Chains A and B, each alone.
Chain A
């Protein structure tokens, strides 16, 4: 079975779904993400679906579950890159993805996560104000 890779970049987990997922692959991703959130302590998850040419009710439900589970684990999820035809189809299907935050692309998704969690430097840039001063020898 294929597996969708989960990348840690700064204080974000980034998932870019590049394959037409079997249902089991989507469920595996849900588990992998929950484990990685706990293992890394990140506060934000970005799921890039720009390569997906459809999102059916199963994948939609999986995205909603991922968002809920990460929220319980103190991380916010943003789904980015949805194609226009996918958005039209999802709404007509009856799936409005309540509880899922969306952004048009990865950059805007990172900005969204950064705004809601301004104390945390999501990309891990050095920032003097956040550093604990090392005692000088």
Chain B
């Protein structure tokens, strides 16, 4: 069950900033703690940059979610880029194909409560993360 779905394109550097700002706004609205807001916005920044740099651009979808116990935020990053051939390797700390630190994907996973990757070489990548209020 969810409501308030907001979508943003992720095509430029400036879009990555907009994703951060939207996630921050929604994180405050669902009353995540300050540390959890910071973790989620940081994870969103890493994943939005991945969508831009590795996926060749795509879209971010931010929604408020709740189950019977808690409220939370779900963010979906989707691109139609080259996909990830070796997911285990891509999730290894320090592995990078883009000249970065190799912490974006593995680090983002540590910062959220739920993390799901759907990827296929040649078809693109969709990453879904959820952070719940404690």
> A residues near B, CB below 8 A?
20-24, 53-58, 60-61, 83-86, 88-89, 92-95
Contact = CB atoms under 8 A, between A and B. Distances in A.
Given A22-B14, A94-B93, A56 B38 contact: no
Contact of B45 (A56, A85, A95): A56
A56 B13 contact: no
Closest A-B pairs by Cβ, 4 of them: A93-B107, A85-B38, A22-B13, A56-B45
Given A57-B101, A89-B38, A94 B106 contact: yes
Interface residues of B, number: 27
B16 A95 contact: no
B100 A57 contact: yes
Contacts of B107: 57, 92-95
A114 B64 CA distance: 49
B34 interface: yes
A58 B49 contact: yes
Interface of B: 13-14, 16-17, 20-21, 24, 34-35, 37-39, 41-42, 45-46, 49, 93, 100-101, 103-104, 106-108, 110-111
Nearest to A58: B49
A54 B41 contact: yes
A129 B17 CA distance: 50
Most A Cβ at <10 Å: residue of B16, B104, B107, B110: B107
B6 to A, nearest CB: 18
A95 B108 CA distance: 12
Given A22-B16, A53-B24, A54-B20, A92 B39 contact: yes
Nearest to B36: A85
A110 to B, nearest CB: 27
A60 B102 CA distance: 12
B21 A54 contact: no
A89 B35 contact: yes
A65 B111 CA distance: 24
Contacts of B106: 94
A82 to B, nearest CB: 11
Contacts of A86: 38
Contacts of B49: 23, 56, 58
